[in-house]
Structure 1
Amino acid sequence: MTDRLGDDYDAVVVGGGAAGLNGALMLARSRRSVAVIDAGAPRNAPAEGVHGLLALDGTPPAELLARGRAEVRGYGGHVVGGEVVSATREESGFSVALADGRAVRARRLLVTTGLVDELPPIPGVRDLWGSDVLHCPYCHGWEVRDRAVGVLATGPMSVHQALLFRQLTDDVAFFTHTAEPLGREDARKLAARGITVVPGEVAALETEEGRLSGVRLDDGTVVGRRALAVAPRMVARAGFLSELGLRPSPHPSGMGEHIAVDATGATDVPGVWAAGNVADLAAQVGASAAAGALAGARINADLVTEEVERAVAVYEDPFSPESEARVSARVLGDRRHGQ
């Protein structure tokens, strides 16, 4: 990411994952000036490949992002490295500040910063995250099919997670860990599907040659497992939006906190959209990219509406104080796009 960051854009996209790049692609193809500012810490970096994405299944995450950056740049968009630390409202839009002191203005913002997985503090979980410690059966389940899989009870979705992994293997163990006792209905579901319930707190994960070999309980018992499913608490990366009055709220699923948006990705703050995991905690790469594309299209439509309203005002009263300013802005915009 070597593009030089300009002074102002029609839209600034904060976050350079699938959602952000696809949103930027839609904007750039609409001849909008757009910059993607990416901190370079993708959530799926530990994964070997992106799965469930038509025609690109198994593509390494870094390769997928490299392709996306090249496509955005091919339409004139900028993709730059940097961490956004704040966003404030200005008369004509927003001012975005970066940690290194740079600042940029934007008429609209698209937030695609993703989320942080808050993993249980069990030795070995963080080290194996993205390889033998997993969370999504659709992202990683095929790769652990027919193995001995454990599911760690960490939240309201853990029983559901165990039932999903049971579709992929006959050998599933449900570790109750520190969770509340299973309700009668959940216990019946697990028993009916032949899922073994293992009581006791998990102390650590055991490994052999860097791969998961078992789950050790606090009494010293080791239950052999080759994969462990964990449902982390997921929290939107959105602290930089606080000055706009936009803060994460509890997700309806109970899985964590997200930025609430409508069906188009619009937030409660006019001029700010959000897409991908920052808004939808469970979205896979394909869904995130689609949400980014929709948000990008809606941002362009919103800008068109604003520009048409101003053009009509100038058309109806060409001698108004706004007329000269609008003509100058139009000329500047034409130069920006090489017209």
Structure 2
Amino acid sequence: MDSEFKNFDDIRKAVARLPSPDSAAPSVARGRDATLTKPTGSLGRLESVVFHLAGWQRRAIPKLDAIHILIFAANHGVTAQGVSAFPAEVTTQMVANFRRGGAAINQLARLHDAALTIIPLELERPTADFTSAPAMSEAECLAAINAGAGAVPESCDLLLLGEMGIGNTTVAAALTASLLGGNAKDWVGPGTGVGGAALANKIRVVEQGLRLHGDSARDPLEALRRLGGRELAAMFGALLEARRRSVPVLLDGFVVGAAGAVLASLNATGLDHCLAGHVSAEPGHRRLLEALGQSPLLDLGMRLGEASGAATALGVLRAAVACHAGMATFAEAGVSDRDQGR
């Protein structure tokens, strides 16, 4: 918006002044929907998706011409604890793959004509291992938040957020446990594919981090700083900036949801501009969506990250908008409506 956040108090002030959706545009959209050549409610969630987009885009017939996907990448010191099936250097290697166009998200972005931007965040400098120290200083956390907020495009009909960071499901589990309660087992899942003794170790690592930071992480921004990572902080910043600009957001999986939980913990309406694209196979994601009051559009057993689930759900949003904008009304089609057919 006008300037970067200088401190956590700046963020708290911004979160206290979040805009609401327009009420007139959804009302007009509902009026149009009632005249379309179909029984009322027969398109199910496609109809509610349109009303949601209308409110945040502040137009009665939503558009999906300018879709932007932002992928934030970062490294985590906690990987030294053996929490991932892949080494930390894979983060940098996958960023290179994104830039070459070789990842799943590249294909999905191309399919949906969405702009894709890759934003690495100090890959050469991982966060601290949260089992022995806060992951970030306040200055480091603010830098990542501002990077995310600054990456939101000026013109955007819909924003999708994704991430890449070996170890980030461990970080997401620790952060959600701190924000939403429960124990490590409630939130820790296989991530890149760990199981057995490796999964037990991952649970132990999250428990250790929660014990170390304890009451100090009760504040959502402190939880993000102490247990989060740069890509989660950046996604939090992008979610906040999108809300301040009234840009609707399509959420991806567990890690993006953990970043969203920070905003929701600061303001109960913080994620009202968001739709959940899918529910991940990562076990904690379904629990997280329930806690956030979000109902996923898709349930395909995906757990890749990198905004791939949200990008797959783009097809649902495009279907919703196409039907709303393109269908004929009963009058235009010369079809008797329900009242006329009595």
* Richer in strand (by share): 1
* Richer in helix (by share): 2
* Greater Rg over alpha carbons, structure: 1
TM-score under structure 1 length normalisation: 0.32
TM-score under structure 2 length normalisation: 0.31
